[in-house]
Structure 1
Amino acid sequence: MTDGRALIEYLGSIKFGESVLVEYSPEAPIPIIFRETIEFLLKKYNVLILDIFDTLHMIKEPLKIMGWDAEKLDKIDVVKAGGIINTGNIVKRIDISKDPAVYTLEFAEFMREYYATHRPTVLIALGIDKLIRLYTNEVTSFEIHIAGVMKKFLGERSRLSLYFANMALVPKETLYEWEEIVTRVFEITLKGKMKFVIKVKKSPNIEDHEKEFVISADELPLVKA
């Protein structure tokens, strides 16, 4: 079995109620990772995207250039937080110019209502790392509220959350806290010019720790459209 097929099998073993942190470096092929994730999820589940500061647009456009039918993203429900470019089916707008205590509560209340009518749902959060730049003098307060939202839905069997985070933008202390909250942590890095590695840094299953999947360009796409 190739690592690509093994990865798809592994992803299928993740249970609803879990939260997964996907850590990546700035040079990692996140549009490709996102494409494979979306293709896999749309075959089985309802998907909701939290789009912070137009991160979804920055993923969609490279995929269009690569020839992927990125227009399918326009049908996916999106919670829009910050930014000026509308991508996807916007079902909620969050004003992040407000105090974090206000907009994180607003987001949590919306998500509770959404999960009640859309079961099961996979939430893909894009750009939470970029929010930190707004709070250079109030990072601690911001971290408390974001961590609170992450904890709130942990174990909720109607949902599964995937949080994508650029490690270069997240302070170590914040990253450590996020890693502690979630049930699984994946780290994505490049290996040479034609491969990327997905490493399991944390899992509920001890035997999964340090497991690596090495994916070559020849294996892509992993999931057929």
Structure 2
Amino acid sequence: MENGIEELAKLWESIVPGESVLAEYDSLVLPYKGFHYLISWAREKGYHIVIIDVLDTLYLYKTQIQLAGLDANLLDSVDVIKIGGRLNVGISRARLPANDVPKLLKEFDLVYNSHLSEIECEKSIVIVLGLSKLLLLAESKFEGLMIIDLLIKYTGTQRRTAFYFVNVDVLENSSHYLVPLLEELATTVIKVTRARRGDDTEPYVYVKVVKAVNAEVEGIKIKL
């Protein structure tokens, strides 16, 4: 898969600073591989990494990385803002409750801006894991839209590039209207799907760019 890894690195290189990148996958896809490659690439390029971890999703990813025999130690030094959950991975910079969405969004705004303002690195990436879980916690369409509105607020911040890993099965079965809103928000949309041969699934996935502000990468398909 080395060729696929190299192609994925080129894709990350094509992302314009300040973009919001949406990585969509379904419940039968293990997204840890793309996440691991993204973290590895960002560290190699000198990016400061911040992970927004909703309800211990980062712990789940780390477990999958370890089971796959990949290096999970690279997660030990990343900054993490936890929303709910109780399992710590990385360096926890803040822990916010998940049971009150309006209060959470207000506190998150303060914590997020305060933390990132202290970062001396000229470039950083923010990776949001478990966003679909957070949207499920919204008790109304209004609260769901409040979460989307907060994401829009940070789009275009030149020193920060945001990556959202989202299980679309979860949202399409509960709040299907949120998926098109997330796709509208994102400047680049990547779909990760299981490869199939007839009725059988293959032991790899395809990463396809279905929307991109950089027209040169729109439509590319990578095998991992």
TM-score for the superposition, normalised by structure 2: 0.88
Find the counterpart in structure 2 of residue 213 from structure 1: 222
Tell me how far 1:3 sits from its aligned partner. 4.3
- Where in structure 2 are there 5+ consecutive unaligned residues? 197-201
1:123 equivalent in alignment to 2:126: yes
Aligned counterparts of 1:178 and 1:141: Cα–Cα separation in 2? 15
Structure-2 separation of matches of 1:195 and 1:155: 33
- SS of 1:172's partner is coil
Q: 1:176 aligns with which of 177, 180, 183?
A: 180
| Greater CA drift, 120-129 or 24-33 | 24-33
Q: Distance in 1 between matches of 2:103 and 2:48?
A: 27
2:199 aligned residue: none
Helix, strand or coil for the counterpart of 1:213? Answer: strand
Aligned partner of 1:188 among 185, 192, 202: 192
Aligned-pair RMSD on alpha carbons?
1.7
The Cα offsets for residues 52-72 of structure 1, whole Å up to 9 and x where unpaired, read as: 111011111121122223133
2:68 is matched with which residue? 66
What residue is the counterpart of 1:220 in the other structure?
none
Shift of 1:39: 0.8
Q: Does 1:151 align with 2:155?
A: no
Q: Does 1:12 align with 2:13?
A: yes
Point out where structure 1 has 5 or more consecutive residues left out of the alignment: 216-225
Q: C-alpha displacement at 1:106, in angstroms?
A: 1.6
Cα deviation for residue 122 of structure 1 reads: 0.5
Contact 2:99–2:137 (Cα < 8 Å) also in 1: no
Output aligned runs, 1:85-164, within 5 Å: 85-98=87-100, 100-118=101-119, 119-135=122-138, 138-164=139-165
Q: TM-score, normalised by structure 1?
A: 0.87
Q: Is the 8 A contact 1:18 1:182 kept in 2?
A: yes
The alpha-carbon deviation at position 132 of structure 1 amounts to: 2.9
Q: Does the 8 A contact of 1:115 with 1:159 survive in 2?
A: no
Q: What do residues 83-120 of structure 1 show as CA deviations (whole Å, max 9, x unaligned)?
A: 1211111001111222x222112212222222222232
Aligned residue number for residue 223 of structure 1: none
Alignment counterpart, residue 198 of structure 1, candidates 190, 193, 207:
207
For the Cα contact (< 8 Å) 1:184–1:202, is it kept in 2? yes
